[in-house]
Structure 1
Amino acid sequence: MTAEEYEALPEDISKMIEVVDGYVAFCESPTRDHQRAVRRLAQLVENNARSAMGRGHDCMEVDFDVDLRIRDVPLCNRRPDVVLYKCLDRKNNERLRAEHALLVVEVVSPGSETADTTDKLGEYARAGIPHYWIVRLDATGVSAIERYQLDRGAMLYKHVNTLMKDERGVPDVGNPIPITIDWAELEY
């Protein structure tokens, strides 16, 4: 599939697929727990982004389940669970591209382990996205956040750390913006 063919699709169809190297990949509907975790993660990141902007950080936006264009040829279009990105020009309907993204978050679900921990890890790094989080769930909500930061020289992600709910406390993350991880906000 080309970028032109993708853009010609009705939105109800394009929302159900990703395109990887020109091939269509069907995205299964997420579970309620997955959706709940994504919504809460997006809210957490957005609240912290607003605080950062209030302290003088450049304009940022947060979305979930939105098209992120990795590249045009061959077309690679992903729909990350959560993305923090530089504000776009709304007047010109600017497309969200990898170079706008500051942080991409994927929540691992049954069946998405390889895509989230291997495929997307490599794609997002090669696209130059500075930060990537892999989020794991348990019966009560978000249980772990694996944090990766881009090594620009190698264009690979380096594991920064893994934040675990079981370790208690409220960890603070410094990059790409200051984010306080309040585990209670990430429970179902």
Structure 2
Amino acid sequence: MTAEMIAPEWMRRQITGEQYDSWTEEQCAGIEILDGMVVVSPSPSRCHNRLARFLANALDEAGGTEWNADNDFDVRLQDVPLNNRRPDVVVYRVDAIDVAPTRPEHVLLLVEVVSPGSETTDRVVKLDQYAKAGIPFYWRVEQAAGRVPIVHTYLLDEATGTYRAGELFTGLVKAAVPYPVEVDLTGPA
């Protein structure tokens, strides 16, 4: 079996932002770009998607007229080499709704819901990558079958370019930053 049979040619070479931007939404779904290389993400579970949507809805409502919250779209962290991530929830400035690609300066908070197979990426790699991109807040949601989700919050330390741990919420999130939001996670799954 040859490499061509395993993966198409476009998955075996670095791509540019211009090339990526020419792809259809269908081609971009389920992938991220890390150092110019396509990284395929497994399809998340329904519980994962529901939890992400539940959080996005609560953050969107609490964001008022200044902040939107959505899921399932790209954030362009870096142009060369290309780094595009597709966080589970993105809180971004209302006035950037039509700006594409969404960039770190448009983003206030990124949320990742950890799934089997994304543990190291969400806990270590994205934590570092989002901090280096200057995203002010990062939330990591841990979920386990039959358990209440746990939300780990992080705040950017601009002096070091790293995150420091913030509050930890189990079940009920009652956060004051990045803006006041209350959401009960004991029932969305």
**TM-score range, shorter-chain basis?**
0.7 to 0.9
1:86·1:101 contact (CA, 8 Å) conserved in 2?
yes
Q: Which residue, 28, 38, 46 being the options, matches 1:14?
A: 28
* CA distance, structure 2, for counterparts of residue 111 and residue 90 of structure 1: 31
2:112·2:139 contact (CA, 8 Å) conserved in 1?
yes
Q: Which residue, 158, 172, 185 being the options, matches 1:183?
A: 185
Which consecutive residues of structure 2, in runs of 5 or more, have no partner in the other structure?
Answer: 1-14
* CA distance, structure 2, for counterparts of residue 30 and residue 120 of structure 1: 17
Identical counterparts, % of pairs? 39
Q: State the partner residue of 2:60.
A: 46
Moved over 4 A (4+): none
Segment of structure 1 superposing worse, 93-102 or 106-115? 93-102
Q: Which residue, 142, 156, 160 being the options, matches 1:150?
A: 156
| Equivalences for residues 12-91 of structure 1 within 5 A | 12-50=26-64, 53=65, 59-89=66-96
Tell me: higher relative CO, structure 1 or 2? Use CA pairs within 8 A at least 6 residues apart.
1
* CA distance, structure 2, for counterparts of residue 6 and residue 129 of structure 1: 22
Question: 1:121/1:106 Cα in 2 relative to 1: closer, same or farther (>3 Å)?
Answer: same
**Cα drift, residue 88 of structure 1:** 3.5
Question: 1:141/1:102 Cα in 2 relative to 1: closer, same or farther (>3 Å)?
Answer: farther
1:60·1:86 contact (CA, 8 Å) conserved in 2?
yes
TM-score by length of 2: 0.86
1:135·1:142 contact (CA, 8 Å) conserved in 2?
no
Q: State the partner residue of 1:56.
A: none
**Cα drift, residue 140 of structure 1:** 4.8
